[in-house]
Structure 1
């Protein structure tokens, strides 16, 4: 281990020295907030005479004085490179109109690229972007990953802020940064790297849980491995995390720590898992710690791989889950599902069907009762048997009452306006009635709204128009307000423009507009619920007929666990 106190200029000022960020490290992650802190700190420093200290960086020596892997400090080094590119670009633009006392070609040679030696090589999947945007200073590169977006955005942000400053201030900033102190700790092998990185973590560095876990496992390999196997075991951990980080950069909906949490809920402590200490507790209780770590990280890699598969899947019930918004408790079931069901899409879709019913009930009821503790036993028992899973959910939900069949019917019969599942339910109802023989082609309504067929009481004091169940004063009686106005039988999907055009119109005008422009079947079928003897009257009896059709004839059956026939083709 070698401690080298130097400056930013001293760190970079070599024609051969370059730094590589290994792919098992995380990609560039700084956002505008961190960039502003960096720049504001630098601005403060030029007001005084003290040297600025950028902190320690940990380097593993690959070739002495030539090639180093960055173990810790990759975010700061990458930001330095981006800042130097932004500064050089802004000053080069100034040189076109004023005299700027700085040799930018030499600065680019020192900090960006010396001949063919690029001074910093980021993780492999970001190098094309980094070379184009930072090393070559191009602006037309189209980023393909979140970290590439951040690299390009960081350069743009620095340029935007630097162009606001006078040239003499830019030169002072450049000089201050070059003379900024930095300590490079050079380590000779993976064993020393694992030990030092774990010590760094214990000093409270702001790392993700995945980074903390990686360094912890590498350190445990250092502690428990036989001397002759230490380096190879540490290398094993770094190689698996290398594969995991390649996947992380492709994820769009979940963070690395999200997936880690869901994996540990699936396999470590169920939903009671909270933090890395829970993993440490299980590891320390194991007899063969080396094997336990290897098994854990291989399973973790599999979970990341399967979450990536999930993100790219378009199975029908998975798309439904996305429309409902997938709560966190679903992902551990998905992780275990992929493990036991493999690539069997029919079985996976049946798993998603079961989970769609679970989530629909959860969203519909919106109870304060603790659902997660009731799911823990079901999650622990799930090993790919979908029929057992279906029955476990059915029995547990009915035993718990809160999300059981009786409670579902109770909620569907009650006040449904503003329900979190209302639009989803009505779209599913629309799909079901179109499948009964009336098909109007591809239907898409942007920002759909909920129409009260019997309109809500006008807020401007006007009376309710004709054709509705009102008293002699054209007002709703309290029983209607309590039981009918906001029930499913009186609620319908409609486009915003259509909704605005009819408002508090008489029912005769409304039903005519529904018939003239039947964008949805549920609009066209309204007339079928009306008593033929009073075709322009939308009363409680008509609402009852429609309500029974939607609730008893459709919703109760659709979101019943008995609607799933495991092993039969999935219909949606």
Structure 2
């Protein structure tokens, strides 16, 4: 990496091209920015003082020895584009287009140095190749290149002594903070260390630029635009950001990570174990793709075909909105979605996508998803570790080609370890009676049971999405003020313990007012004054409603309800 002060002539070296990559979006500056730019150029031209226009990051691309050098514009697209258009207009108005050509076009063939991508290429080339000053009529409101030209064409005045604009004064005094990267260097790392830029390139943006050259428009349209950028609905889907662990990641990045984890398990590629470990790191996903393709000599077009088919499956099946909608009782991808997004278990995505791609029989698929639900939920109830989930669902199950319920069961039985084990009914009973879980897990366990046992034909109210329910302690943590007392310290400790377990926890449609939450059992059920109680917010919830008929709620009833939930769980999660 080389960094330092750069002049316009330094950046627009006439023996090379500057290329706007695919991941850069269209030119977006508007009239406010053009007006400020014009005022700044008048000031520079008048004072002849050095003026820093901002930063420009350029990255060297691999080219053959018989071709001109190409540098990718990683940062600076808006400034360099505006500068070209502004000075083009100035030169045309001064009948000095030769000066523009000798600065912004290549020496060898007089072609433009700054190569725009598919978003703006047609309009930009139209402007910089003008031979006389004209006005573009009927310009689209989205064509900021032509709008920019028209703005400067209207507002640059060359015969006004108060607004002097001299081409060479500007050329000699405009400066940039320039950073030049070699081909091997990681542009993302540069962005991360230059906080003032306020830019974060996603893996998808970097991959788009890596997969497609400027002239590969047909390939880009087929394998990328139609899949990831077809319209606003599609772009909104892929740009959705969710929390995964400590990170926020977009759907499109989740997809590319999942695809890579599937691809590196291909037995024909014989990916080394060390590489698999390296390629599973979320933080360096783009670099992993590049090295994987290079080291294992993969054909990009074949990979793009595969990415396309996986991406279509991903979009058709992974639905974050399921957390806001009624959940079906039928086993399948919808319930897996509720577990992935409602319970933040995104580690399931690679294996789930692998199953969707390789199991065409819906019955077999749903049987496997049913067991996957049982496996995750049983382990959640007993507080089994999740630390090995990433390896299990991104490596082991895929590399062993586990594509049916029976194969999954056999795989777990053969391993006979205490890391990936499936809890039995005895362990499940202990979990319902004793596990103290975080609220999201507890609500998820009860909700998934509720969604299976609910009689939808008899209920007047529909089951809401998992995100619409609050978790409530039936016996409150602050029970000592308004609930019956206990005679010994042991009994008090036991009560304080039991009230945190699953038998005492319920989902309701809205959190209770604080004054009701800690009230005695009759008031908590009915409510008081303007504050509604459990009955109002139970909404026919079958894991709660029957217990609201009880005149008393205590440790014995907590244990009975835990047993009720256990029995339902054993029926559901077999």
1:527-560 Cα deviation digits (max 9, x unpaired):
45x4xxxxx221222222111101x2222433x3
2:508 corresponds to which residue? Answer: 494
DSSP 3-state at the match of 1:378: helix
Work out whether residues 415 and 487 of structure 1, in 8 Å CA contact, stay in contact via their aligned partners in 2: yes
* Residues 289-304 of structure 1: pairs in structure 2 closer than 5 A: 289=297, 294-304=301-311
Match for residue 392 of structure 1 among 375, 393, 411: 411
DSSP 3-state at the match of 1:73: strand
For 2:76 and 2:462, locate their aligned partners in 1 and report how far apart those are by CA, in whole Å. Answer: 51
DSSP 3-state at the match of 2:512: helix
1:381 corresponds to which residue? Answer: 400
Match for residue 472 of structure 2 among 443, 451, 456: 451
The answer on 1:72 being equivalent to 2:67 is no
1:152 corresponds to which residue? Answer: none
For 1:84 and 1:422, locate their aligned partners in 2 and report how far apart those are by CA, in whole Å. Answer: 60
Flag structure 1 segments of 5+ consecutive residues without an equivalent.
12-17, 62-67, 89-101, 111-116, 139-166, 184-196, 219-233, 531-535, 563-572
Work out whether residues 60 and 183 of structure 2, in 8 Å CA contact, stay in contact via their aligned partners in 1: no
The answer on 1:427 being equivalent to 2:428 is no
Moved more, 541-550 or 254-263: 254-263
User: Aligned pair in 2 of structure 1 residues 132, 209: CA closer, same or farther (>3 Å)?
Assistant: closer
1:49 corresponds to which residue? Answer: 50
Work out whether residues 7 and 176 of structure 2, in 8 Å CA contact, stay in contact via their aligned partners in 1: yes
For 2:56 and 2:463, locate their aligned partners in 1 and report how far apart those are by CA, in whole Å. Answer: 58
User: Aligned pair in 2 of structure 1 residues 383, 415: CA closer, same or farther (>3 Å)?
Assistant: closer
Work out whether residues 118 and 217 of structure 2, in 8 Å CA contact, stay in contact via their aligned partners in 1: no
DSSP 3-state at the match of 2:440: coil
DSSP 3-state at the match of 2:310: helix
Work out whether residues 379 and 422 of structure 2, in 8 Å CA contact, stay in contact via their aligned partners in 1: yes
1:53-94 Cα deviation digits (max 9, x unpaired):
846587999xxxxxx999722653245447999x99xxxxxx
TM-score relative to the length of structure 1? 0.57
2:462 corresponds to which residue? Answer: 442
DSSP 3-state at the match of 2:507: strand
Match for residue 477 of structure 1 among 478, 482, 492: 492
User: Aligned pair in 2 of structure 1 residues 212, 20: CA closer, same or farther (>3 Å)?
Assistant: closer
Give the drift of 1:452: 1.8
For 2:215 and 2:11, locate their aligned partners in 1 and report how far apart those are by CA, in whole Å. Answer: 34
Give the drift of 1:397: 8.1
For 1:473 and 1:399, locate their aligned partners in 2 and report how far apart those are by CA, in whole Å. Answer: 38
2:131 corresponds to which residue? Answer: none
User: Aligned pair in 2 of structure 1 residues 74, 515: CA closer, same or farther (>3 Å)?
Assistant: closer
1:162 corresponds to which residue? Answer: none
1:132 corresponds to which residue? Answer: 142
For 2:489 and 2:293, locate their aligned partners in 1 and report how far apart those are by CA, in whole Å. Answer: 72
1:201 corresponds to which residue? Answer: 183
RMSD (Å) for aligned C-alpha atoms: 5.8
Match for residue 28 of structure 1 among 25, 40, 48: 25
Work out whether residues 369 and 402 of structure 1, in 8 Å CA contact, stay in contact via their aligned partners in 2: no
Match for residue 548 of structure 1 among 546, 563, 572: 563
TM-score relative to the length of structure 2? 0.57
* Residues 135-534 of structure 1: pairs in structure 2 closer than 5 A: 135=145, 179-180=174-175, 200-206=182-188, 243-246=222-225, 247-249=227-229, 250=235, 251-253=238-240, 254=250, 256-268=252-264, 269=271, 272=277, 273-274=279-280, 289=297, 294-311=301-318, 315-342=333-360, 347-361=364-378, 365=383, 367=385, 369-375=387-393, 376-382=395-401, 384-393=403-412, 400=419, 404-405=423-424, 407-416=427-436, 418-435=438-455, 438-444=458-464, 448-457=469-478, 463-466=480-483, 468=484, 470-471=485-486, 477-482=492-497, 484-496=498-510, 498-512=512-526, 513-515=533-535, 518-521=538-541, 522-527=543-548, 530=550
Give the drift of 1:385: 3.8
User: Aligned pair in 2 of structure 1 residues 443, 260: CA closer, same or farther (>3 Å)?
Assistant: closer
For 1:474 and 1:204, locate their aligned partners in 2 and report how far apart those are by CA, in whole Å. Answer: 62
DSSP 3-state at the match of 2:312: helix
For 2:367 and 2:10, locate their aligned partners in 1 and report how far apart those are by CA, in whole Å. Answer: 60
Equivalences, count: 437
DSSP 3-state at the match of 1:420: helix
